[in-house]
Chains A and B, each alone.
Chain A
């Protein structure tokens, strides 16, 4: 069966954000089942079997991450849901929380039960204030119905759930920065090791999971890990929310079975329905702003000529030379009129703005790249600046405390790798480049 939806099937039913309607459509079935007939280890086992991989971007197997959690006697453990979704191009968690908040809460109950946490947090992005209200309302309902609080449904398991908003910093989506922020400190990533699974929130073992990963635990418990693992291809199992944006005819949040081809996703009737206004595809960023950009000839086919599929492996095929990453599922499409230099500058500006300023390569490097790209984009660049950018990139990548440095370096490196001619064109024909970029040129100039 193709096109199965496990998460947002019911998202469009009116009133689904209320407890009654959610329960009417099969909600909280998984909690009832788990608390009655499954031990916490059984839930972990099901998640391991499902092959679920972290949906926040890195794609680390969730079951494995859970099994790393240290379990010393007498020390509390925490589960923190990372709802600090701020990657440019990614808006899937927002959609999920806005429409079916109870799915996240149900997932939180199951995951907390599996990990033995009695106090769990949802750390939500500061700009999502209205979603905070939606979640708080849903949590209050769950408390009223006895799904949260002391002795949930007579099982003897206690769970308190809190939603806490951040201040809107992108860096607080990094798990250790998130923990610092949750503790009430400045959101600077911690130096690892120790990892949060050993020493996290207030020095206690902590698991930090993405909203979608936690929500996916609900269908896994409902239908069993094996049947979840049956969806998808190879090590990319289950369904994934993809937020498509940019120059597609029908942008939005789509739930896909991993393994759909990229071509079908962009041009298929069920999904994006092709490029808007009948234009041609120029490039695509398949996993949120921090993953490498793919030029049109590498979007639907890999370098070896195979069809590119929406899976962790297929999108990464060819490494960074000719591949990219599934990342967080922020699918950004560029048509032929878009300027890659301008877009790269825009991304670099974002990372320079969001760098926490703790370690020197990221603090100085992101700002430097932004300034050089600004110059290139605004017609004041030099040919040597392109090589300089590539150099700065190499010095940032891998040398920083947290992955923000890498995330800032990858898109610039990939843009230079695949679109070097366009960068050079910005230097050699600066007036023409300026005209096109500001939309003043009637006829798009092709490079």
Chain B
């Protein structure tokens, strides 16, 4: 075990833990935002640079500060490391810079985007971004493409976090999904626009932090905050069968995996509860599911507001 200090909070974590995961153990304000890191996917992270933190002291043995800001998701902790996140002006300034970079080519079409309300980029922009853009050039645009008959790719909204690439690589059995072109023109694509034809391909929708990959069976049906998230279960031969049903009245509008407060798919019984395409796209009838209770959405987005008594809501009420 090693001792680290993040924003003046001390914590003991195991050797080899990343700074981000150490911060998540503390929870709350000290957790840096992460757009590309996904703890359930191997080798994700390091790309978006929103989780940059300042290392004020490298370790107890070598207390020199690190000259550059480091990506907290991919930097392991050392004993006696002192990390500054929210308390560092440098971090805040550079994070605002990264948010600006992520948004310059983003279409900001939230009013018509299905992800709005549960979008990580919205949260990030709201918390760390600036009110105005300085970008006067044309935004880069792509045509939306279909990846199979159930998934829509809006490359315009993509922030190239590579999460879906890792998900497609690690959850499905083919390397049909990846990045083509480079630099500003890099785009997510499947092998010459072939469909990803796989029982777990739908999970790329769940890992996408923005509205680039959306569920075609749900597109334009409803805003997410009008729906009631319910925990549902069914016996499935392929996956855990434990999902969140997004309902309006007695109708299921969409099915997603169960996600934790960082938007990552939860572990159930020690296994990440990815759900299969059958559960996600085909089972939209209430009679197919056993509803076990309301789902508490532990995110700070609008969808968690005013639904059920969540930790967040009670806190807000107490303040008022």
> Pick the contact of B101 from A186, A371, A394, A395 — CB < 8 Å?
A395
Asked whether B104 lies within 8 Å of A364 as measured between CB atoms, the reply is yes
Within 8 A of A (CB), among B37-95: 45-50, 52, 67-69, 71, 74, 76, 94
Asked whether B178 lies within 8 Å of A360 as measured between CB atoms, the reply is no
Please give the distance in Å from A365's CB to the nearest CB on chain B. Answer: 6
> Pick the contact of B185 from A171, A357, A372 — CB < 8 Å?
A357
When C-beta atoms are compared, the residue in chain B nearest to A366 turns out to be B183
Asked whether B184 lies within 8 Å of A191 as measured between CB atoms, the reply is no
When C-beta atoms are compared, the residue in chain B nearest to A357 turns out to be B186
Asked whether A364 lies within 8 Å of B46 as measured between CB atoms, the reply is no
Asked whether A359 lies within 8 Å of B137 as measured between CB atoms, the reply is no
A355 within 8 A of B: yes
| In the complex, chain B residues whose CB is within 8 Å of the CB of A361 | 49, 97-98, 101
When C-beta atoms are compared, the residue in chain A nearest to B179 turns out to be A186
| In the complex, chain B residues whose CB is within 8 Å of the CB of A217 | none
Asked whether A367 lies within 8 Å of B160 as measured between CB atoms, the reply is no
A388 within 8 A of B: yes
The docked-state distance in angstroms from the alpha carbon of A366 to that of B183 is: 8
Asked whether A359 lies within 8 Å of B47 as measured between CB atoms, the reply is yes
B320 within 8 A of A: no
Tell me whether A400 and B182 are in contact in the complex, defined as CB-CB below 8 angstroms, given that A361-B98, A361-B101 are known contacts: no
Asked whether B94 lies within 8 Å of A363 as measured between CB atoms, the reply is no
Asked whether B160 lies within 8 Å of A357 as measured between CB atoms, the reply is yes
B114 within 8 A of A: no
Tell me whether A360 and B183 are in contact in the complex, defined as CB-CB below 8 angstroms, given that A368-B135, A368-B137 are known contacts: no
Asked whether B98 lies within 8 Å of A395 as measured between CB atoms, the reply is yes
The docked-state distance in angstroms from the alpha carbon of A357 to that of B102 is: 12
Q: Which of A191, A352, A366, A401 has the most CB of B within 10 A?
A: A191
> Pick the contact of A364 from B47, B71, B101 — CB < 8 Å?
B101
The docked-state distance in angstroms from the alpha carbon of A186 to that of B188 is: 13
When C-beta atoms are compared, the residue in chain B nearest to A370 turns out to be B184
Asked whether B94 lies within 8 Å of A399 as measured between CB atoms, the reply is yes
Asked whether B46 lies within 8 Å of A401 as measured between CB atoms, the reply is yes
The docked-state distance in angstroms from the alpha carbon of A276 to that of B211 is: 56
| In the complex, chain B residues whose CB is within 8 Å of the CB of A395 | 94, 97-98, 100-101
The docked-state distance in angstroms from the alpha carbon of A186 to that of B98 is: 24
| In the complex, chain B residues whose CB is within 8 Å of the CB of A365 | 101
Asked whether A352 lies within 8 Å of B69 as measured between CB atoms, the reply is no
Tell me whether A354 and B98 are in contact in the complex, defined as CB-CB below 8 angstroms, given that A368-B104, A371-B137, A398-B69 are known contacts: no
The docked-state distance in angstroms from the alpha carbon of A364 to that of B178 is: 19
Within 8 A of A (CB), among B161-197: 162, 178-179, 181-186
Dominant secondary structure of chain B at its interface with chain A: loop
Please give the distance in Å from B107's CB to the nearest CB on chain A. Answer: 14
Asked whether A399 lies within 8 Å of B182 as measured between CB atoms, the reply is no
Asked whether B183 lies within 8 Å of A399 as measured between CB atoms, the reply is no
> Pick the contact of A352 from B47, B102, B184 — CB < 8 Å?
B184
Please give the distance in Å from B123's CB to the nearest CB on chain A. Answer: 16
| In the complex, chain B residues whose CB is within 8 Å of the CB of A354 | 182-183
| In the complex, chain B residues whose CB is within 8 Å of the CB of A388 | 134
Within 8 A of B (CB), among A394-447: 394-395, 398-401
What band does the interface of chain B fall in when counting residues whose beta carbon is under 8 Å from A?
35 or more
| In the complex, chain A residues whose CB is within 8 Å of the CB of B71 | 191, 401
Please give the distance in Å from B132's CB to the nearest CB on chain A. Answer: 13
Taken residue by residue from 217 to 261, chain B's Cβ proximity to chain A (1 for < 8 Å, 0 otherwise) reads as 000000000000000000000000000000000000000000000
Please give the distance in Å from B159's CB to the nearest CB on chain A. Answer: 7
Taken residue by residue from 137 to 178, chain A's Cβ proximity to chain B (1 for < 8 Å, 0 otherwise) reads as 000000000000000000000000000000001010000000
B313 within 8 A of A: no
Asked whether A360 lies within 8 Å of B182 as measured between CB atoms, the reply is no
Within 8 A of B (CB), among A173-227: 186, 191, 193
| In the complex, chain B residues whose CB is within 8 Å of the CB of A23 | none
B301 within 8 A of A: no
| In the complex, chain B residues whose CB is within 8 Å of the CB of A39 | none
The docked-state distance in angstroms from the alpha carbon of A401 to that of B76 is: 16
The docked-state distance in angstroms from the alpha carbon of A186 to that of B175 is: 13
Please give the distance in Å from A125's CB to the nearest CB on chain B. Answer: 16
Asked whether B183 lies within 8 Å of A352 as measured between CB atoms, the reply is yes
The docked-state distance in angstroms from the alpha carbon of A375 to that of B124 is: 30
Taken residue by residue from 95 to 126, chain B's Cβ proximity to chain A (1 for < 8 Å, 0 otherwise) reads as 00110111011000000000000000000000
What band does the interface of chain A fall in when counting residues whose beta carbon is under 8 Å from B?
20 to 34
Please give the distance in Å from B37's CB to the nearest CB on chain A. Answer: 11
The docked-state distance in angstroms from the alpha carbon of A77 to that of B182 is: 31
The docked-state distance in angstroms from the alpha carbon of A365 to that of B103 is: 11
The docked-state distance in angstroms from the alpha carbon of A193 to that of B18 is: 12
Asked whether B182 lies within 8 Å of A355 as measured between CB atoms, the reply is yes
Please give the distance in Å from B50's CB to the nearest CB on chain A. Answer: 8
A10 within 8 A of B: no
A353 within 8 A of B: yes
Asked whether B135 lies within 8 Å of A360 as measured between CB atoms, the reply is no
A358 within 8 A of B: yes
The docked-state distance in angstroms from the alpha carbon of A355 to that of B179 is: 14
Within 8 A of A (CB), among B128-167: 134-135, 137, 140, 159-160, 162
Tell me whether A398 and B101 are in contact in the complex, defined as CB-CB below 8 angstroms, given that A359-B46, A363-B183 are known contacts: no
> Pick the contact of B184 from A171, A186, A193, A355 — CB < 8 Å?
A355
Asked whether B160 lies within 8 Å of A358 as measured between CB atoms, the reply is yes
A35 within 8 A of B: no
Please give the distance in Å from B185's CB to the nearest CB on chain A. Answer: 7
Please give the distance in Å from A187's CB to the nearest CB on chain B. Answer: 8
The docked-state distance in angstroms from the alpha carbon of A183 to that of B183 is: 21
| In the complex, chain A residues whose CB is within 8 Å of the CB of B50 | 360
The docked-state distance in angstroms from the alpha carbon of A36 to that of B237 is: 67
When C-beta atoms are compared, the residue in chain B nearest to A398 turns out to be B68
The docked-state distance in angstroms from the alpha carbon of A359 to that of B69 is: 14
A356 within 8 A of B: yes
Q: Which of B49, B97, B159, B182 has the most CB of A within 10 A?
A: B182
The docked-state distance in angstroms from the alpha carbon of A169 to that of B183 is: 11
| In the complex, chain A residues whose CB is within 8 Å of the CB of B135 | 368
Asked whether A359 lies within 8 Å of B182 as measured between CB atoms, the reply is no
Tell me whether A357 and B182 are in contact in the complex, defined as CB-CB below 8 angstroms, given that A364-B104, A365-B101, A398-B68 are known contacts: yes
Asked whether B184 lies within 8 Å of A360 as measured between CB atoms, the reply is no
Asked whether A399 lies within 8 Å of B178 as measured between CB atoms, the reply is no
- Besides A359-B46, A399-B49, 10 other A-B contacts (C-beta < 8 A): A186-B178, A186-B179, A191-B71, A357-B179, A366-B184, A371-B137, A375-B137, A395-B100, A395-B101, A398-B67
Can you list 28 pairs linking A and B with CB atoms under 8 Å apart?
A: A186-B179, A191-B71, A352-B183, A353-B183, A355-B183, A356-B182, A357-B181, A357-B184, A357-B186, A359-B46, A359-B48, A359-B49, A360-B47, A360-B50, A360-B101, A361-B49, A361-B98, A363-B186, A367-B183, A368-B101, A368-B104, A371-B137, A394-B97, A395-B97, A398-B67, A399-B49, A399-B69, A399-B94
